[in-house]
Amino acid sequence: MTDFNKTIFSGDAAQYFRIWITNLFLTIITLGIYSPWATVANTKYLYQNLNIDGHRFDYIAQPIQILKGRLIALFLLGLFSFFQFFNEILFYISLGVILIATPWIINRSISFQLRMTTYRNVSFDFQGNYGSSFLYFLLLPFLSILTLYLALPLVLKHANHYVISNTKFGDKEIVANLSTTEYYRAFLATCAAAMGIGLIVAMFIYISILVAPITAVFIGFLGYIALIAVGSSVWGSIIRNHTFNNTKVLSVASFNSTMEVGPYTFIVFTNILALIFSLGLAYPWVAIRNMKYLSATLGVKTEEGLDSVIDDIPRDNSAILDE
C-alpha cells in the first residue's frame, strides 16, 4: 500500500454510556467484586470499535484473571498496612522489597496488558529486562531531580524508546528512531505555553480583583484547567506525532500522526469541564470523544509482511502484577 489509511473508531457515546453505567452499578452493589468484569467489558468495547485496515482490535483478558490479581493485591496491601502500624521493622523490610521488585512488576504489568491486546488474532508483548526498567523508570527519573528536571526530556525519550523497542507484535520487532531534540522542543514549547497561560490568567485575576473580586475565583478555576489542557496538549501532540512518525513494525506497518495542538487543547479543556460538572458521569462521552480524535489523526500504512505475522506470544494467565 502506498497511502496511509486512517484509523477508524466507530464507538458511540450513548451506547458506551449504557455499558459503562450498568457496569458501574453492578460494581457498586457487589462491593467491587464485579469490577474485573466491568473492566473487561468496558475495554472490549473500546478495542473492538478500533479498526485499522478493515480489522479490529480485541481485548482477551478473562475477568477471573483480574479478580484473582486484585484479591491478592488487596491482601498484600492489607499486610503492608498492618506492618506500617504494628511492626515498623517489617514495614521497612516490605517497603524495600517493593522497591526492589518494582522494575520486575512494571515489566510484567506492561507485558500482561499487551498480551491481552490482539489485532488480527495476533497478540502484542513486552520483553523488557529488570536492569533497564530499573534504570529508565526509577534511577534516571530520580537523578533528573538533581538537574532541576532539565534532563527530564532526555530521560523520557530513553524510557519511551526502551518500551517501544522491547514491544513485539507476534514475531515482528518494533523499532523507533526517536530524537532528543524533539523531546526538548516539546519540553520548551510546553514550558512557554504554560508560562504564557499563567501570565494571562494572573493578569485577568488582578483586573477582576480590582473590578469584580468575586469573579477572580472563577477566572482562577478556568485558568487552572486551561493550564492543564494547554500543557498536556502541547506535550502530547508533539511527542505523539514524533513517536508514531518515527516508529515501524518491521515488515508490517508504519504510521503517520497529525495531531494539532489547537483542536486537542479544546478537546482536553472541555473534557475536564464536562467531567467536573457532571460529577464524572460524562466519562463515556469523554472517552469516546478522545478516541475519535486520536484515531482520526493517526494513519497506518500496512505492508505485505502483515499477512505473515506469526503469533508466538504465550498467553500470560496472571494479572497479579498488573494489579
pLDDT of 10-57, one tens digit each? 999 999 999 999 999 999 999 999 999 999 999 999 999 999 988 999
Rounded Cα–Cα distance for residues 2 and 5 (Å): 9
pLDDT band, very low/low/confident/very high, at 116 (cuts 50, 70, 90): very high
Q: What is the pLDDT of residue 248?
A: 95
- Characterize the bridge pairing of strands 167-169 and 172-176: antiparallel
Taking a C-beta distance cutoff of 8 angstroms, is the pair 178, 201 a contact? no
Q: What is the pLDDT of residue 316?
A: 54
pLDDT of 191-204, one tens digit each? 999 999 999 999 98
The strand order across the sheet containing 247-249 reads 5-6, 298-302, 253-257, 247-249, 172-176, 167-169, 122-126, 117-119, 55-59, 50-52, 8-9
| Closest residue by Cα to residue 319 from 57, 35, 29 | 35
Instruction: Give the mean model confidence (pLDDT) for residues 127-137.
Output: 95
Res 137 pLDDT > 50? yes
Length of the chain: 323
pLDDT of 93-110, one tens digit each? 888 888 899 999 999 999
Res 115 pLDDT > 60? yes
Res 318 pLDDT > 70? no
**What's the chain's average pLDDT?**
91
Comparison of pLDDT for 80 and 165, the residue scoring more: 165
Res 1 pLDDT > 60? no
pLDDT of 205-229, one tens digit each? 888 887 777 888 888 899 999 999 9
187: amino acid identity, one letter: F
Using DSSP's 3-state secondary structure scheme, residue 179 falls into coil
Note the pTM of the prediction, 2 decimals: 0.88
Rounded Cα–Cα distance for residues 256 and 10 (Å): 20
pLDDT of 281-315, one tens digit each? 999 999 999 999 999 999 999 888 888 888 777 66
Q: What is the pLDDT of residue 72?
A: 85
Q: What is the pLDDT of residue 319?
A: 55
pLDDT band, very low/low/confident/very high, at 80 (cuts 50, 70, 90): confident
